Amino acid sequence: MAESIDPRYRLLVLTMAYGGLRRGEAFALRRSRVDLIRRHVDVAEATREVAGISGVQFGPPKTKAGHRRVPLPRVVIDELIP
């Protein structure tokens, strides 16, 4: 799938697929939550659509278990390094 998608979204697809991130978690991911040396991301926020409001809202994950450290394989880390 990552090979056939628009290149602008390749990293997003790889991160979601290999990291098991949900859409809202991936969209809320910030650079400060990515550790390239230790090869993981910290999931601490998620986006959600709010009824009656155009756009999305950032906030904590829905459950306590949603806060987690997710390891990423080398293939994803290599895509992150410019």
Q: Where are the alpha helices (DSSP H) in the chain?
A: 10-19, 23-28, 74-80
Query: One-letter amino acid identity for 43?
Result: V
Q: How large is the average pLDDT for residues 2-17?
A: 89
Q: Over the Cα atoms of the chain, what is R_g?
A: 13
**Residue pLDDT, tens place only, 24-57:** 999 999 999 999 999 999 999 999 888 777 778 8
Q: How large is the average pLDDT for residues 6-30?
A: 93
| Tokens 């290599």, residue located | 78
Q: What pLDDT is attached to residue 37?
A: 94
